[in-house]
């Protein structure tokens, strides 16, 4: 059977943009687990936010945080410790980006012309973070625990934002538009982090695995472009991003988690069809398996 690894954005993709719930995606996550297909979150969220989310979703493998500036790999799950990784708790960490302190210092260096056009998530009170995101207090605290990227609420115009991205790029840093926030990175990125982790997974657990990437926003473009199959999940909040040079692209009709289920199912059935396997994910199959088993 073809090895498959799914790399997925969370907010607006696997999780609903407003409620942060997986809704219909929960059932598909169980089907994927049954079939041994790992689902790797690749998100702008922090490690502190991801630990309870992974537990809730039943995801026990690696995850990529802060827009691909760090990859966390659980110990004792069949992967050897990759060279050059740090350790914290029961995870190894591969860092791809410079520290948040470096980034915020560089942004402060841009001076007063820019300082009043954004507000760092990490400088907001918990109440402000909750008001902007809808997260509760402990979730808001976890969202502020950023180490390798800076997350900004943009207060200026769209034209200002383009100029800001240009100015930041001259500092060898990158501005990415997420579903709610602007993210600033100094090294790394979702596509680069995914490519690194996919190399590790292929070398040790899933030889020649086919990669599927799913995302809903501009900050998912490098992720979508790094995968064998790309799923763009439609968003209720903004236009779908337009990945370039993708071998196989599926754009969902449904929005959010329903679009994730629609697209992941269609792509895996497509992979199964090409490799001569049955439709392992269809409800029909499970109905049949339940009857015959």
Question: Quick one: how many helices (H) and strands (E) in the chain?
Answer: 11, 13
**Bridge partner residues of 250 (DSSP):** 231
Residue 217 found at the interface with Mg ion (CB under 5 A): yes
How far apart (Å, rounded) are the C-alpha atoms in residues 110 and 240?
Answer: 31
If the CB atoms of residues 216 and 262 are measured against Mg ion, the closer one turns out to be 216
Query: Which residue from 16, 66, 216, 262 is in contact with Mg ion, where contact means CB under 5 A?
Result: 216
CB 72 within 8 A of CB 54: no
Determine the Cα–Cα distance for residues 233 and 69; give it in Å rounded to an integer: 23
The b-or-e profile of 1-37 (16+ CB within 10 A means b, else e) is eebbbbbbbbbbbbbbbeeeebeebeebbebbeeeeb
> Does residue number 11 form part of the binding site for Mg ion (CB under 5 A)?
yes
Give the residue from 47, 78, 37 showing the smallest Cα distance to 210.
Answer: 37
Binding string to Mg ion for residues 234 to 263, with x set by CB under 5 A, is what? ------------------------------
Contact range with Mg ion by CB under 5 A, out of 57-65, 96-104, 208-216, 257-265: 208-216
Segment interacting with Mg ion (CB under 5 A) among 31-39, 77-85, 217-225, 255-263: 217-225
For residues 145 to 184, the per-residue mask of contacts with Mg ion, x marking binding by CB under 5 A and - elsewhere, is ----------------------------------x-----
Q: Which is nearer to Mg ion, 79 or 175 (CB)?
A: 175
Q: What is the CA radius of gyration of the chain?
A: 19
Between 192 and 216, name the residue whose CB sits nearer to Mg ion: 216
Q: Which of 5, 7, 12, 181 forms a contact with Mg ion (CB under 5 A)? A: 12
22 binds Mg ion (CB under 5 A): no
């Amino acid at each position: 059977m073809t090895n498959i690894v799914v790399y997925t954005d969370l907010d607006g993709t696997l999780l609903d943009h407003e409620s942060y719930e997986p809704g219909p995606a929960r059932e598909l996550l169980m089907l994927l687990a049954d079939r041994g297909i790992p689902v790797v979150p690749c998100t702008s969220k922090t490690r502190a936010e991801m630990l309870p989310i992974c537990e809730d979703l039943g995801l026990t493998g690696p995850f990529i945080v802060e827009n691909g500036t760090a990859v966390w790999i659980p110990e004792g799950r069949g992967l050897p410790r990759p060279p050059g990784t740090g350790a914290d708790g029961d995870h190894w960490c591969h860092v791809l980006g410079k520290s948040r302190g470096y980034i915020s210092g560089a942004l402060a260096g841009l001076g007063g012309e820019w300082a009043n056009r954004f507000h760092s998530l990490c400088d907001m009170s918990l109440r402000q973070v909750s008001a902007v995101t809808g997260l509760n207090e402990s979730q808001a605290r976890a969202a502020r625990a950023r180490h390798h990227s800076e997350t900004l609420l943009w207060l200026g115009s769209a034209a200002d934002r383009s100029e800001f991205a240009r100015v930041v790029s001259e500092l060898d840093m990158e501005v990415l538009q997420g579903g709610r926030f602007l993210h600033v990175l100094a090294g790394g990125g979702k596509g680069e982090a995914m490519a690194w982790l996919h190399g590790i997974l292929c070398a040790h657990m899933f030889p020649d695995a086919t990669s599927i990437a799913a995302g809903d926003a501009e900050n998912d473009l490098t992720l979508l472009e790094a995968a064998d199959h790309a799923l763009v999940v439609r968003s209720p909040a903004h236009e779908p991003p337009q990945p370039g040079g993708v071998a196989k692209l599926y754009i969902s009709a449904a929005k959010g988690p329903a679009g994730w289920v629609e697209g992941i199912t269609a792509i895996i059935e497509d992979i199964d069809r090409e490799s001569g396997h049955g439709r392992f994910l269809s409800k029909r199959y499970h109905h049949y398996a339940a009857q015959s088993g």
